[in-house]
Structure 1
Amino acid sequence: MTLLTGMKNAGWAGLLRDWDRSLRAGNHPETTRYNYLLAAVQLAGYLVAEDPDSGGARDPGLVTRRQVVAFQAWMVESRSAGTALNKYKALLRFFGWLVEEGEVACSPMVGVPMPRVGQKLVPIMTGDETRRLLAECQGKEFAQVRDQALIRMYCSTGARLSEIGGLLVADVDLDTESVLLHGKGAKDRRVRFGPNTARALSRYLRLRGRREGAAEMPQLWVSVRGMSPLRPAGIKVRLKRLGQAAGVEHVYAHRWRHSFAHEWKLLGGNEGDLMLLMGWSSDEMPRRYGLSAAAERAQELQLRFGIGERF
């Protein structure tokens, strides 16, 4: 894991490598492992900067509850409560693993309050915004063709950043215009995409296939230079840059996920089917997604039903 490469703190680095090995043995996805390790690495960096003489700065087994609380407060203030909650969950797992390994008798997470997060309304990606982003990718250069396919895949499937970003060439079936997505909890599902997306993806695959080394690269998305994979973190950066060029603010894959749920509901789609397509196991999720456009859906239905206009 590149996060640990060059980490100078031997006490932290050794245990984090062992933890990563344990996560891999448990078949945790690469994105999940990265986020877990990132939280621990950030805690280590925080302690080195803010409390360098403490035992916790040298050894995760010596981290105190007070230090975790201070780190969490810093996360809330410098990032957000939602980010702090993600770090809290990751550190719960890390220190729980240290207890299992006999490195500590008690987790310093005991008594640390879980950050309270208010419900954040994620704005849907409008049709106009998507069209502007696609217009920014018009052309025959490799990056333009690839980015067209990427945007259409997110828009057409409503999949997560990591699900599209982690695709293999073998996951795509152009005959059935479908893709095998590898979701959270090692749950796979097959999702269809439309003809415009299939055409964009076919163009990309043809262009990709002409590059030297393409046959040996299993990952679907590749960087402009060489034949190295374009991973979810790189896609995230690329989408942000495309948004800046197109004059569209806050471009990230999750907005298309909300848009997909919004359009599905607007057209009268069944919520149970939506859960299957989106890879959800909780019936709370359909209510949460597309919530920012709930009033728009209600107004559309009001006009369609014609309530009060039949007299």
Structure 2
Amino acid sequence: MKFDADRLISRNPSMWASFLRDWDRSLRAADHPATTRYNYLLAATQLCGFLGTFGHIRSGAGQDPLAVTKADIERFQVWMIETRSASTALNKHKSLQQFFSWLVAEEELDVSPLARVRQPRRKKKLIPIIGEDQTRKVLNTCDRRTFAGARDEAIIRMFANTGARLSEVADLEIHDIDMSLDTALYHGKGGKDRRVRFGPKTGRALSRYIRMRSQHRAAQLSHLWLAQKGAAHLSDNGIQMMLRRRGQAADVEHLHAHRWRHTYAHEWKRAGGDTGDLMVVLGWSSDEMPRHYGASAAAERAQETQARLRIGEDV
């Protein structure tokens, strides 16, 4: 993911912008991914904007992050929950924790204003998976005789066949694909690389696309996925837009890359696959994620067991 950090930072008052620019330099020095940096800086910018908009509450905090109090953070979280969601508010809380912890480490603050602020509680929802019939409908919208159709089929099969994140598929470069071993090298979060295998159908789709790609005017680019027109690559935002269009054409609602990731974890757990192996394949370092992603599979297994046991039905 590429973004203009300075443009985002410059939206803030001068004192906020100065601290955010220094923080971003520290994040880059620590080799934080661009996506992480963007989310961190966006959360701080949104807090600053909130305090500035509601200046009658805390005018000083809207100009200087060192003036932010516990009450300011709590008001911001309430606003996030009411205007977005508890899940979004939790993500902002975690990002702001990083910013104010950095200010403490830099000895700009003695104590973070988030030190005694509780995290928003996120409701646990069963993430809707995407069935094989739905994936097949989406694939049927791809005319593999065209460049865009061949490219999009390969992208969709990579999501469905490997359970990768949107950023991981979008960031693939041509040399990350090994067609002799049928593997892809994903560059995961936190600079963690992993190599995964893909199946025969995905391999054929990739081969078809790569042959067409070799004739593209931007074939010299290192990025695997190229835009249909011009000499540019297809960004993660471009892939999101493509999936939205394909979903609408296939009459599949709310189509996005993460649904295949949830489906992959669902099917893995439903088949009795090992959790440790799933963590390796999907690039997780915490066992919290398999529990979260596998919740729908656990619910389905429980329903199957309930139907099989027929408890209370023989009276």
TM-score (norm 1): 0.87
Matched, 1:261 2:265: yes
After TM superposition, the runs of 4+ consecutive aligned structure 1 residues lying more than 4 A away are 298-305
Q: CA deviation at 1:226?
A: 2.5
> More displaced, 125-134 or 204-213?
204-213
Q: 1:22 aligns with which of 20, 26, 37?
A: 26
Q: Which residue of 1 aligns with 2:7?
A: 5
Alpha-carbon separation, structure 2, partners of 1:28 and 1:198: 32
Alpha-carbon separation, structure 1, partners of 2:95 and 2:192: 20
> More displaced, 198-207 or 172-181?
198-207
Matched, 1:112 2:114: no
Q: Which residue of 2 aligns with 1:123?
A: 128
TM-score (norm 2): 0.86
Matched, 1:97 2:99: no
Tell me the secondary structure at the aligned position of residue 140 of structure 2.
helix
Alpha-carbon separation, structure 1, partners of 2:19 and 2:152: 39
Residue identity (%):
55
For residues 19 and 228 of structure 1, do their structure 2 counterparts lie closer, same or farther at Cα, with a shift above 3 Å needed? farther
Q: Which runs of 5+ in 2 are unaligned?
A: 310-315
Write the deviation string for residues 121-158 of structure 1: whole angstroms up to 9, x where unpaired: 11111111111111122243333222211111010001
> More displaced, 174-183 or 159-168?
159-168
Q: Which residue of 2 aligns with 1:186?
A: 191
Tell me the secondary structure at the aligned position of residue 118 of structure 1.
coil
Residues 122, 290 of structure 1: 8 Å contact kept: no
Tell me the secondary structure at the aligned position of residue 47 of structure 2.
helix
Q: Which residue of 2 aligns with 1:78?
A: 83
For residues 244 and 111 of structure 1, do their structure 2 counterparts lie closer, same or farther at Cα, with a shift above 3 Å needed? same
Residues 124, 293 of structure 1: 8 Å contact kept: no
Number of residues paired by the alignment? 304
Q: 2:36 aligns with which of 32, 37, 41?
A: 32
For residues 274 and 41 of structure 1, do their structure 2 counterparts lie closer, same or farther at Cα, with a shift above 3 Å needed? same
Q: 2:215 aligns with which of 210, 232, 235?
A: 210
Residues 124, 290 of structure 1: 8 Å contact kept: no
State the superposition RMSD in angstroms.
2.5
Write the deviation string for residues 44-71 of structure 1: whole angstroms up to 9, x where unpaired: 2222323277122223233232222111
